[in-house]
Amino acid sequence: MAKVLNLTSKQKKLLNYLKSFIALNRRPPRLKEVAEFLGSKYLSTARFHLKALEKKNLIKIERGAIEIPDTENFVDQPISVRFLGYISAGKPFLTPEFEEFIRLDTLLFKGVKPSEVYILKARGNSMIEENIFDGDYLIVKSTNQAKDGDTVVATLNSESTIKKFYRYKDKIVLKPANKEFETIIVSGDLADKFQIQGVVIGLVRDYNFNK
């Protein structure tokens, strides 16, 4: 059985930060970057907390540089980002002071393994009533199965599209989320040329895409 280390909340957050930083940047953070993460302008504060991790054999500090054993293993670790609470989009209010971490794979992939998803960039306006706009990055679960109402990535006659999926006894309906676009009916011989490639489970929007 692996030994369970008694880490403080701050130590857990710092270790998580180190792992996430390495996964994103392919290098350990500098002392100044650690101090900034800790909300301090003093390098001595960063050294103090890093030393605490070093005493527990979780990291090494060599000539002022941070070394983390088994760095390569951290690259495939889930990346977590600080979650600082809620912010009002209406009447202003204050959030009680708190901080925790949210794993990005859980947030974006809805619990689906990263190896089971892929990303597409939307083009066009046929799904705007489903809040899918031109330029959005769509997170798609790779599957050839869908249920009524799912937003699917489908291939028909070797062309791919994103539409709402509905199945009836003798036909499949691919419905746009924009009244200016026509519904696609798949029946008869077309059914042999139709395939579901995935189901949209989320999206990421570049806030400055259209600016």
What confidence tens digit (pLDDT) does each residue in 84-111 have? 666 566 665 555 666 667 777 777 777 7
Place of tokens 């042999």: 192
Contact 153, 118 (CB under 8 A): no
Instruction: Supply the pLDDT for residue 113.
Output: 77
Instruction: Supply the pLDDT for residue 207.
Output: 74
Angle between helices 9-25 and 43-55 (to 10 degrees): 100
Compute the CA torsion angle 160, 163, 168, 170 (nearest 10 deg). Answer: -30
> Residue 20 has which token pair?
């996430």
Domain spanning 1-105: CATH 1.25.40.10: no
> Residue 112 has which token pair?
């689906």
Residue 113 designated active-site = no
Active-site hit among 13, 19, 126, 175: 126
Mean pLDDT, to the nearest integer, of 32-37? 87
Quote the DSSP letter at residue 2: P
Q: pLDDT tier at 4 (50, 70, 90 boundaries)?
A: very low
Residue 115 designated active-site = no
CATH for 114-204? 2.10.109.10
Q: Where are the beta strands (DSSP E) in 17-158?
A: 60-62, 65-67, 80-83, 100-103, 117-121, 137-142, 151-156
Active-site hit among 13, 19, 141, 163: 163
Instruction: Supply the pLDDT for residue 73.
Output: 45
> Residue 121 has which token pair?
């960039």
Q: Collapse the DSSP code of 153 into the 3-class scheme (helix H, G, I; strand E, B; otherwise coil) and give the result.
A: strand
pLDDT tens, 52-86?
Answer: 888 888 888 777 667 776 544 444 455 666 666 66
For the chain, give every domain's residue range.
1-105, 114-204
Instruction: Supply the pLDDT for residue 57.
Output: 82
Task: Please tell me the pTM assigned to this model.
Answer: 0.58
Q: Collapse the DSSP code of 65 into the 3-class scheme (helix H, G, I; strand E, B; otherwise coil) and give the result.
A: strand
- Altogether, the residues listed in the chain come to a count of 211
* Cα angle: 119, vertex 112, 84; to 5 degrees: 85
CA distance 15 to 13: 6
> Residue 62 has which token pair?
């060599």
pLDDT tens, 138-195?
Answer: 999 989 999 999 999 998 888 889 999 999 988 999 999 999 999 999 988 888 889 9
CA distance 126 to 172: 18
Mean pLDDT, to the nearest integer, of 10-38? 80
Instruction: Supply the pLDDT for residue 28.
Output: 80
Residue 3 has pLDDT above 50, yes or no: no
